[in-house]
Amino acid sequence: MGDAPGIVEAGYDAIAERYAAWARDEITGSPAVEWLERLLELLPERADVLDLGCGNGEPAARLLAARHTYTGVDLSREQLRRGRAAVPGGRFLHADLTRLELGEACVDAVVALYVLGHIPREALALVFRSIGQWLRPGGYLLATTGRRDVPGVVDTDWLGAPMFFSSFDAETNLRLLGEAGLDVLEHEVICQDEGEQGEACFLWVLARRPGAE
């Protein structure tokens, strides 16, 4: 699955319009806004927030950028174009999150919703370690991961384009977060109706880099 980033980038470029309509009209039961509001309650004023896999800006970029200094990262140039249009006050970067290089303790929060299942799971430990380094002491991670053992597959027709998926089980994801130096504050497996795609279940996690009160 060495070309996973290319598959994901091309896929989200190709399905941008259909994905926006699907996410808006067909996904029910997504707890994204609820969990984002939990994070917002914890952050200091004008926090620096990094959003990995920001997509078209809905809903995370819109909610986060309204109150904080926002940077979104995505592989898809078309999704980034839409994100910039939706959130003109944000900063958007075209990058592969598994190769992203940032400074030590440079952000107050990292958000990674519905994106970690699109990277090869072998890279997940490194991504969690990087997040742990990017967070300032006391900073927060809000993320979704998979909850099933999926070594790496390509769905040849996911909303009209090939798409890569990979994940560990929930217990492994929680262990990797701990090994990255992050304290898990809350975690819950939540299933949601994704319309034509059926039911999908994710592990929702709110974690913290220790070191500040």
Structure tokens at 142: 């809000």
List the one residue out of 49, 99, 96 whose CA is nearest residue 76.
Answer: 96
Question: Domain residue spans in the chain?
Answer: 4-208
> How remote is the C-alpha of 63 from its chain's centroid?
15
CATH number listed for the domain at residues 4-208 = 3.40.50.150
Query: Which pTM value belongs to this model?
Result: 0.94
Phi, then psi, of 26 in degrees rounded to 5: -115, -25
pLDDT for the residue 197: 74
SS3 per residue for the chain = CCCHHHHHHHHHHHCHHHHHHHHHHCCECCCHHHHHHHHHHHCCCCCEEEEECCCCCCCHHHHHHCCCEEEEEECCHHHHHHHHHHCCCCEEEECCHHHCCCCCCCEEEEEECCCHHHCCHHHHHHHHHHHHHHEEEEEEEEEEECCCCEEEEEEEEECCEEEEEEECCHHHHHHHHHHCCCEEEEEEEEEEECHHHCEEEEEEEEEECCCCC
Backbone torsions φ then ψ of 54, nearest 5 degrees = -70, -20
Q: What is the pLDDT of residue 213?
A: 60
Of the candidates 4, 9, 121, the one whose C-alpha atom is nearest the C-alpha of residue 75 is 9
Q: pLDDT value at position 27?
A: 55
pLDDT along the chain (213 residues), means of 10: 86 94 69 94 96 94 94 97 94 96 96 97 97 98 96 94 96 98 96 79 97 71
**Encoded amino acid at 26, one letter:** E
Of 49, 115, 126, nearest in space to 76 by CA: 115
